[in-house]
Structure 1
Amino acid sequence: MSVGLPSWEKLIEHMEDELGLDRATADMPEPSYQALAEYYRLKHGSIGSLRSWMDREWSVSRKNVKGSAIHELIVSLDFPIIYTTNYDRNLEVAFELHDRPFVKVANAKDIAKVNGEATQIIKYHGDFDDDASLVLAESDYFERLSFDSPLDVKFRADALGRTILFIGYSMSDMNIRLLLYRLWETWRRSGYEKNRPKSFVFMPQPSVVQEAVLGRWGIDMLTEEADRPEDALVTFLSKLKDKIDQG
């Protein structure tokens, strides 16, 4: 949203309009966007038209991406691997604008393109260029809960011996929470939990509940005080870059 993307609320409103649902009289409790997307697929036979709308609506100008301090910092921090649940191409555009090499991975075929030099941008929930890769409807999320897809296998391998920094993830997303739990469980069962590299999650607002639960799973919470979440993230990433530059 910091570069002009619509909110999830706008996605929900569009699906309700397309499906002819009256928001004022919708069944309670309100369905999640995943459930709405599942209903959309049932009614239309596929999510192809929804994906096309999202692709158009979520197209951000290169100028906006170039002016994004968050994207510039992400590129300049030179992460070897970036996992994103976003479907859009803004990360790829940012790397292109700053003339930094990258390889996009959205499916099993793309994994073969990975090399040791370019930053890997892993489209963990899919990419607009490949409808089949999108994790959008409820059944898509349920299928991912088994964590045995090629991208899940890759994540477990990538994450096992590395420090991970989680940015911008909703800690209410059960896919993400189960992923974090299973990563901790793998180390715990190995008998070498004390040797696990530290991992971190950045959240714009502190939460004693999340801090305790995530801390149990070996993930430290980091926060910054700011009026807007994007300002907090810019401050955090800037401090991180300064620390790295100082060695």
Structure 2
Amino acid sequence: MRTRQRPPTAPAASLDDLRADCRRGKVLLFVGAGVSLSLGLPDWSELIDHMAQELGFEPDEFRGYGSYLALAEYFRLHHGDVAQLHRWMDRRWHDAGIRVQDSRVHELIVRGGFRLIYTTNYDRWLERAFEHHGRPYVKIVDVGDLAHIRPDATTQIVKFHGDFEREDSIVLDETSYFRRLEFESPLDIKLRADVLGRSVLFIGYSLSDVNLRYLFFRLACLWKQAMPGTPQPRSYIFTPEPNPVQQAVLGQWGIEMLSVDAGNPGQALAAFLEQVVG
């Protein structure tokens, strides 16, 4: 019987390369839901339970009828008032008791000096973290915001799945996700340009997220199409736990897994960012 080997956590050489790229402004940061969850925000399960109650279903019964995206699609088709749902989400995601100033993860993101931050989160906690720490930023939600990009090093926060302040921008149900996966919107075109010559660091994402995995695949394809024969810059995803299977699968797309030994996922992410930008 072969002895299963545990993959190394955050190889020193990879961290050195990532730190060097960060100092040169050559890292595009992708921020997922795990970063917001560290603030105590609700997860998809709570959102689906709220949809179930609005539709008159028992939450356990409703969750058994399909994926989260399909259930959100059903809500749109049969409830109709998606704007009301977005307003409920906005209130729930921005509860007065949430204190971004206490989040070490958000502080390190701000201190990291990332010029380009893409996020699939709808909430405004990244923006509020920049405001709390006195750092300028430009928020980009749709094509109209591209005119606000400044020529200096001011951080761009690109809301890749929309923003609560613009309800029609939110990517929530199955149809809106499928449209996003076409990779033909103005934000997709911007992403294609932004990734060229840069490494990408993904934090706060689950490796089981098929949308994220499709994004990995598309980024690898975009690089090969734009720069045939040129090595793709190394990109990274932080995960709290090593996973040799995912490490091999993601490696073919130029994504390296990094992890650290720490307590809960939030503490692990903070410890990782300390090593990268602290």
1:201-233 deviations in Å (ceiling 9; x for gaps): 111111112111111111111001122000000
**Structure-1 separation of matches of 2:63 and 2:72:** 15
Specify the alignment match of 2:26 in structure 1. none
Specify the alignment match of 2:228 in structure 1. 191
**Structure-1 separation of matches of 2:93 and 2:69:** 18
Distance 1:157 1:46, change over 3 A: farther
1:107 pairs, out of 138, 142, 153, with 142
Q: How does 1:208-227 map to 2 (within 5 A)?
A: 208-227=244-263
State the aligned residue count: 240
Q: Which consecutive residues of structure 1, in runs of 5 or more, have no partner in the other structure?
A: 243-247
1:77 pairs, out of 98, 108, 112, with 112
Distance 1:63 1:183, change over 3 A: closer
Q: Cα RMSD over matched residues?
A: 1.6
Specify the alignment match of 2:200 in structure 1. 164
Q: Which consecutive residues of structure 2, in runs of 5 or more, have no partner in the other structure?
A: 1-36
With normalisation by structure 1, the TM-score equals 0.92
Superposition deviation, residue 69 in structure 1: 0.4
**Structure-1 separation of matches of 2:133 and 2:107:** 8
Any conservation in 2 of the 1:3–1:60 contact (CA below 8 Å)? no
Q: How does 1:226-237 map to 2 (within 5 A)?
A: 226-237=262-273
**Structure-2 separation of matches of 1:23 and 1:93:** 33
Superposition deviation, residue 186 in structure 1: 2.8
1:137 pairs, out of 173, 185, 204, with 173
Specify the alignment match of 1:245 in structure 2. none
Any conservation in 2 of the 1:114–1:120 contact (CA below 8 Å)? yes
Specify the alignment match of 1:18 in structure 2. 54
Specify the alignment match of 1:40 in structure 2. 75
Q: How does 1:177-188 map to 2 (within 5 A)?
A: 177-188=213-224
Specify the alignment match of 1:173 in structure 2. 209
Shifted more, 167-176 versus 119-128: the winner is 167-176
SS at match of 1:9: helix
1:6 pairs, out of 22, 42, 57, with 42
1:106-150 deviations in Å (ceiling 9; x for gaps): 111111111133100000000000011000011000111110011
Tell me which amino acid in the other structure corresponds to 2:40: G
1:166-195 deviations in Å (ceiling 9; x for gaps): 11122222222122112212333443242x
Distance 1:12 1:184, change over 3 A: same
Shifted more, 67-76 versus 6-15: the winner is 6-15
**Structure-2 separation of matches of 1:238 and 1:128:** 30
**Structure-2 separation of matches of 1:237 and 1:60:** 26
With normalisation by structure 2, the TM-score equals 0.82
**Structure-1 separation of matches of 2:126 and 2:63:** 37
Match status 1:121 vs 2:164: no
